[in-house]
Amino acid sequence: METIVRVEGRLTVECEHLGTTTTAVTVRGELDLYTAPFLRAALVDLVQHGHTHLFLDLSDVPSCDSTGVGVLVGALKRTRARDGTVRLVTPSASVLSSLRITGLWKVFAVFDSLSAAEESVITEASAARPVPRKPPARQSA
């Protein structure tokens, strides 16, 4: 697994590629008007390179303003446009508060751990598989 760490001022973004289309993104630092463009650029780059299933670990984000929330929504739209997903992992109280105030907590899948988020992908994939059916019986003429 490849891990890439990017640092810009007060924000650190660590990307760990878990598979060909799946990446765990750990965000550390304040997510605000000044740092949000850096996260946006990192997420856009991931999606453009085919990483359309993102796990965003936001446990080390002490504050998140409306610009930061906008970045999360933008990532969700970009991944969905490519049949992908964004799952939020252990968001901090500040991030959860922003999501609740805006009503977006109903839109994002939120998990207590990366393993729970990964398990949800497996569960969804198995539920989406078609159930094998027996061929219809031949009717006698």
Q: Which string of DSSP letters, residue by residue, matches 19-86?
A: SSSEEEEEEEE-BSTTTHHHHHHHHHHHHHTT--EEEEEEEE---B-HHHHHHHHHHHHHHHHTT-EE
For position 9, what pLDDT does the model report? 86
User: Is the confidence at residue 131, as pLDDT, over 80?
Assistant: no
pLDDT at residue 137, rounded to an integer: 52
Closest to 125 (Cα-Cα) out of 26, 19, 50, 2: 19
pLDDT in tens, 95-122: 898 899 999 989 999 999 888 888 887 7
pLDDT at site 127: 57
What's the rounded Cα separation, in Å, for the pair 16 and 49? 14
Predicted confidence at residue 128, as pLDDT, reads 52
List, in order of start, the domains of the chain with CATH numbers: 3-123 (3.30.750.24)
Convert the pLDDT of each residue in 21-58 to its tens digit.
999 999 999 999 999 999 999 999 999 999 999 999 99
Average of per-residue pLDDT values in the chain: 87
Taking 80 as the threshold, does the pLDDT of residue 130 lie above it? no
Structure-model confidence comparison of residues 132 and 35, the more confident one: 35
